[in-house]
Amino acid sequence: MEDSTVPSSSPVSNKGVGSDNMAASVTNANTGTPSYSMASLYVGDLHPDVTESMLFEKFSTAGSVLSIRVCRDNASRLSLGYAYVNFQQPTDAERALDTMNFDILHGRPMRIMWSQRDPAVRRSGTGNIFIKNLDKVIDNKSIYDTFSLFGNILSCKVAVDEEGNSKGYGFVHFETDEAAQSAINKVNGMLLAGKKVYVGKFQPRSQRMREMGESTKKFTNVFIKNFGESLDKEALQKLFEPFGNITSCAVMTDAEGKSKGFGFVAYEQPEQAEKAVQEMNDYQIEGTDHKLVVCRAQKKSERNAELKRKHDLQKVERMQRYQGVNLYVKNLDDTVDDDALRKHFESYGKITSCKVMTDENGRSKGFGFVCFEKPDEATNAVTEMNSKMVCSKPLYVALAQRKEDRRAQLASQYMQRLASMRLSNNVPGTMYTPSQGGYFVSSTLQRGFAPGAMAGTAMRSSARNWQSNFGGQNPYIVPGGPVFQGRGRAGGAANDLRSQQFTSNAVQGGNRLAGQRVVPAGVAGQGQGAGQRQHPGQRPQAAGGKQNAASLFQQYPQNQQQRAPIAQGIVVGGQEPLTSHMLAQAAPQEQKQLLGERIYALIDRLYPGHKDAGKITGMMLEIDNSELIMMLQDLDLFKSKVEEASSVLQSAAKMN
């Protein structure tokens, strides 16, 4: 039995972003039904592309929604497949639970249940039952419909593999133990979809492991291997008869009847089996060089668990053995092989191993490993050899790390950068709440904050030289706001590209105008506004030689304002088009995530199977967000930028 219990409430992942306002559940003594301090629902089995706006559109039909949060991975910001929906009224939440459970959203049925914050209730196992031997056609809804006859179900789930196929078992968590026991009594042994199912009380893994440990002390089935074809069933039974009465004996054979070299012997008493293991293990068969391996017969799951445990122990031992002595060396010249690498490092101490990594054709991959005997020798080598020129290339030398540790370190650094950015911009992390436009904005943003664009604050972007010819010199005007002159690197200048995002609300005749497109100030120079064009490097001037932003905006030709609709953007992979208004409503740490998802999907659509799609996406994300929005709204501009980035990567590859 596997330990894949359905979460009886909100499953909070160690790597995920949990909800901060999940409702606690309390049982009403009079009615026996749960009452909630907040009407909070857990929504699971979500498609990775499901967003807060999709959930809001779905659940707002049931009642007034206070907030929605899709839980995401801290490092990658990808959805973990579940969310929390908080309603204003418990009756609305109950209506959503009754009418929308297992509804299809983005191609997958949602699994909805009450959010349960108390971990003691979730882990107690009270009312939780286990069902196995399920037919492949049985899904979550079938289980729910079958077992809801016995009482109120808090949660239910059929375990599935990575492809969504049923594993043949599942879990149902009832509100009371009585309902669970009634379901066990009635359904255990019944036929579901033509298969006889087993239904019993759920046992936590710790309890199962304890029982398994006790069973290992009392066994009657013995496993024997490594006798080749020298023993048949009769010979094996005769060899093990002296230790007690044998109830069964078998030698495993192939399709042609030839022995596979292993078999089983079952005794009446555990003491007899234990004695056989002690006496016959390492026994050498007469006339052969075969030594028997005799041990307790194990289930496949037990063997796999034991092998995994041994593998993990060996892995830990290797890590401890090479901790602080194994060096990672990269940026190696193609002419450097194992011997040359050893010669460069052998002056710092005794080297136990040295290897330059190569591809299938034997060409160097440009990196390798050097393992010293002592940690201080490795430390000295790092100090002396890091950045040293070898064959006209500076080496990078550092202590080698496991891939998991390196990823964790990079994720930690990424989160620290996000935290420092949030602190510098005074934007705390918050939940998403619905705005009038049906999107989701931070509750703090509604009080006047704008992500990444505080008054007079610029976000720094480490743009590369390939970006210098794109929009870095053009000023941009936000309708109703000040003119902003973007400053970028041109002609190899070392200045960082600084970008500012502005969000403004212009109130005209009592109507609120929001989400208007940011347009190049050069447009104001066309037609009748040509004499008022703002030049690169020139500051906006106020009235009387000092024009304000409103007067500059009014210089746009009226017919141009009427003809230019708000850009809808390019639809990518079924996602809604990303606009500057939507981006302004996202938290700072999510803006690049939203842009990156769409940029990568669009590159994959335009250039299927492009090997550098990830690298190009990373390069483009260094561009100012407002410019990226314009690119996502102009397919030709987007293609030209992708081709430019691709040519830069190709040139760099030729240089290396």
How many angstroms separate the CA atoms of 533 and 485, rounded?
Answer: 12
Distance CA 365, CA 393 (A): 14
Identify any residues that bridge with 43 across adjacent strands, giving them in sequence order.
Answer: 83, 112
Radius of gyration of the chain (CA): 33
- What is the mean pLDDT of the segment spanning 260-282? 91
CATH number of 321-399: 3.30.70.330
CA atoms of 367 and 389, how far apart (whole Å):
15
pLDDT > 70 fraction of the chain, expressed in percent and rounded: 67
Mean pLDDT of the chain: 72
Q: For residue 349, what pLDDT band results from cuts at 50, 70 and 90?
A: very high
- Distance from C-alpha of 162 to C-alpha of 618, rounded to nearest angstrom: 28
CB-CB neighbours of 119 under 10 Å: 11
Residues 6+ apart with CB under 8 A from 59: 41, 65, 68, 85, 87, 96, 100
Whether residue 475 is predicted with pLDDT greater than 50 in this model: the reply is no
Beta-carbon contacts of residue 626 (< 8 Å; ≥ 6 apart): 476, 499, 501, 518, 580
Q: Cβ of 587: how many Cβ atoms within 10 Å?
A: 22
CA distance 590 to 600: 15
Lowest mean pLDDT among 214-228, 362-376, 562-576: 562-576
Closest to 93 measured CA to CA, from 32, 156, 40: 40
Query: In this structure, which CATH number among 3.50.50.60, 3.80.30.20, 3.20.10.10, 3.30.70.330 belongs to the domain 25-209?
Result: 3.30.70.330
Does the pTM surpass 0.85? The reply is no
* pLDDT classification of 594: cutoffs 50, 70, 90: confident
User: Residue 571's pLDDT is what?
Assistant: 52
**CA 562/CA 526 separation, integer angstroms:** 15
Q: Can you tell me the distance from the alpha carbon of 498 to that of 500, in angstroms, rounded to the nearest whole number?
A: 7
Q: What is the mean pLDDT of residues 254-272?
A: 90
Tell me the pLDDT tens digit for each residue of 357-407: 999 888 999 999 999 988 899 999 999 999 898 888 899 999 888 777 778
Q: What separation, in Å, do the N-terminal and C-terminal C-alpha atoms of the chain show?
A: 54
What pLDDT shows up at residue 285?
85
Write down the pLDDT at residue 340: 92
Report the side by side order of strands in the sheet with 351-358: 351-358, 364-372, 326-330, 396-399
Phi, psi of 299 (to 5 degrees): -75, 160
Where are the strands (E) in 234-283, listed by range?
246-253, 259-267
3-state SS record for 165-181: CEEEEEEEEECCHHHHH
Amino acid at 642: V
Contact 270, 233 (CB under 8 A): no
Q: Is 505 helix (H, G, I), strand (E, B) or coil?
A: coil
What CATH number is given for 220-296 in this structure?
3.30.70.330
CA 147 centroid distance within chain:
33
Could you count the other beta carbons within 10 Å of the beta carbon of residue 457?
Answer: 12
Residue 338 parent element (H or E)? helix 338-345
Query: How does pLDDT run across 88-117, given as a tens digit for each residue?
Result: 899 999 899 889 988 999 888 898 988 877
- Reduced to 3 states, what is the DSSP secondary structure of residue 273? helix
pLDDT in tens, 284-311: 888 788 889 999 888 887 888 888 888 8
For CATH 3.30.70.330, the residue range(s) in the chain are 25-209, 220-296, 321-399
Best CA proximity match to 127, nearest among 15, 6, 239: 6
Residue that has been written with the tokens 């619905």 in this structure: 434
Q: Which of 387, 349, 290, 5 is nearest to 159 (CA)?
A: 5
Read off the pLDDT band of 339 (50, 70, 90): very high
* Residue 492: band (very low, low, confident or very high) from pLDDT cuts 50, 70, 90: very low
User: What CA–CA distance (Å, rounded) separates 222 from 654?
Assistant: 64
Q: What is the pLDDT of residues 222-239, one digit of tens each?
A: 999 988 888 888 999 999
Token digits of residue 289 = 């060089």
Q: Which of 275, 223, 278 is nearest to 251 (CA)?
A: 223
CB 136 within 8 A of CB 143: no
Number of separate helices (H) and strands (E) present in the chain = 19, 33
Q: Which amino acid is at 332?
A: L
CA–CA distance, 583 with 576 (Å, rounded to integer): 12
| Residue pLDDT, tens place only, 146-188 | 898 898 888 888 988 888 888 999 999 888 889 999 999 999 9
The pLDDT of residue 370: 93
- Right CATH for 580-655 from 1.10.1900.10, 3.40.50.10490, 3.40.50.720, 3.40.309.10: 1.10.1900.10
Query: DSSP readout, 567-591?
Result: P----BTTBPPP-HHHHHHS-HHHH
Q: What is the DSSP letter of 370?
A: E
Q: Measured between alpha carbons, how far is 80 from 69 in angstroms, rounded to an integer?
A: 11
Q: Which structure tokens are listed for 162?
A: 């990575």
